[in-house]
């Protein structure tokens, strides 16, 4: 009699549990079953922008149902930002798998080849990228100014030569035009040297920008340097002993 009583009780408990599980499953079906977003590699920060704005670290599980068009972005240090648009349909559970592309030194150099400093920003050295980009812009503007002054000096020299050819048979003014040619020639030489220095500065910044993006590209290790201290109880000679451990990552 005792065993029969406990047997019926166990059957009732199992029946109630089964009803609750079925109701929960039906509820999940009505609400869309939630959304799970995973990334390769894991641990990326995921952003969703649509009817709601959501953010979380992958694997990112969203319990509330999502309906409509959402913009999805995933970011992780050392990987290119993933961006896409996804349409969530009502009543359907979603599981999205995002594969991130690792950043490379070649892609960084190609970016710096077109826009100085862009490769450094791509490599997550934003301050260095801004400095190099600004330096390249200033040196480029300085080169344009010096080239403009050099061209004006060349035009003045050519004008002096043409004037001399017109009045070279006039002994009274010929020496004046010869002196003018010498003066404009000195001005041309001076601005030529200034322009050459400006060109060397601009070219040096550009070459350093390329080499920096290629050679000094960061390693982007997943494990950052740090020290971890662990305290635990251990048994030594049948006696409890407090143990202290230190783990360093480089």
Q: What is the pLDDT of residues 171-203, one digit of tens each?
A: 777 888 889 999 999 999 999 999 999 999 999
Other residues' Cβ atoms within 10 Å of the Cβ of residue 150 = 21
Residue 193 has a pLDDT of 97
The rounded radius of gyration (Å) of the Cα atoms in the chain is 37
Residue 213: pLDDT band with limits 50, 70, 90:
very high
- 230: Cβ–Cβ under 8 A, 6 or more apart, which residues? 244, 245, 246, 247
Bin 77: left if φ > 0, else alpha if -120 < ψ < 50, else beta: beta
The percent helix, strand, coil of the chain (3-state, each to 5) is: 50, 25, 20
Angle at the Cα of 213 (from 207 to 214), degrees rounded to 5? Answer: 90
204, 202, 215: which is closest to 109 by C-alpha? 215
Helices assigned H by DSSP within 78-125? 105-114, 118-122
Tokens of 117: 């400093």
Distance from C-alpha of 96 to C-alpha of 60, rounded to nearest angstrom: 10
Domain segments of the chain as ranges: 28-99, 107-215
Residue 1: pLDDT band with limits 50, 70, 90:
very low
Distance from C-alpha of 215 to C-alpha of 96, rounded to nearest angstrom: 36
Residue 45 has a pLDDT of 95
Residue 23 has a pLDDT of 44
The CATH class given to the 28-99 domain equals mainly beta
19-73 pLDDT, tens digit each: 544 444 444 444 445 789 999 999 999 999 998 899 999 999 988 888 899 999 9
Cβ(36)–Cβ(97) under 8 Å? no
How confident is the model over 107-130, as a mean pLDDT?
96
Residue 168: pLDDT band with limits 50, 70, 90:
confident
> What percent of the chain clears pLDDT 70, i.e. is strictly above it?
75
Distance from C-alpha of 99 to C-alpha of 80, rounded to nearest angstrom: 10
Distance from C-alpha of 81 to C-alpha of 71, rounded to nearest angstrom: 13
Place of tokens 């060397």: 200
93-114 pLDDT, tens digit each: 889 999 999 999 999 999 999 9
Distance from C-alpha of 168 to C-alpha of 159, rounded to nearest angstrom: 14
How confident is the model over 229-241, as a mean pLDDT?
50
């Amino acid at each position: 009699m005792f065993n029969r009583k406990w047997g019926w009780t166990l059957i009732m408990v199992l029946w109630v549990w089964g009803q609750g599980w079925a109701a929960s499953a039906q509820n999940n079906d009505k609400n869309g079953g939630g959304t799970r977003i995973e990334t390769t590699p894991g641990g990326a920060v995921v952003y969703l922008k649509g009817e709601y704005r959501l953010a979380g670290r992958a694997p990112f599980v969203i319990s509330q149902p999502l309906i409509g068009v959402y913009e999805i972005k995933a970011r992780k240090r050392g990987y290119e930002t993933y961006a896409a648009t996804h349409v969530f349909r009502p009543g359907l559970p979603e599981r999205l798998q995002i594969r991130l592309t690792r950043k490379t030194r070649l892609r960084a150099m190609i970016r710096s080849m077109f826009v100085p400093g862009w490769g450094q920003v791509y490599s997550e050295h934003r301050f260095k990228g801004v400095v190099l980009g600004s330096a390249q812009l200033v040196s480029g503007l300085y080169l344009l100014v010096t080239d403009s002054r050099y061209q004006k000096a060349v035009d003045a020299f050519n004008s002096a030569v043409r004037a001399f050819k017109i009045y070279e048979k006039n002994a009274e003014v010929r020496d004046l035009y010869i002196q003018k040619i010498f003066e404009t020639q000195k001005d041309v030489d001076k601005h030529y040297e200034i322009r050459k220095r400006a060109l060397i500065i601009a070219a040096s910044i550009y070459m350093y920008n390329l080499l920096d993006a290629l050679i000094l590209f960061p390693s982007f290790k997943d494990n950052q340097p740090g020290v971890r201290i662990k305290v635990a109880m251990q048994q030594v000679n049948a006696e409890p002993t407090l143990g202290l451990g230190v783990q360093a990552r480089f």
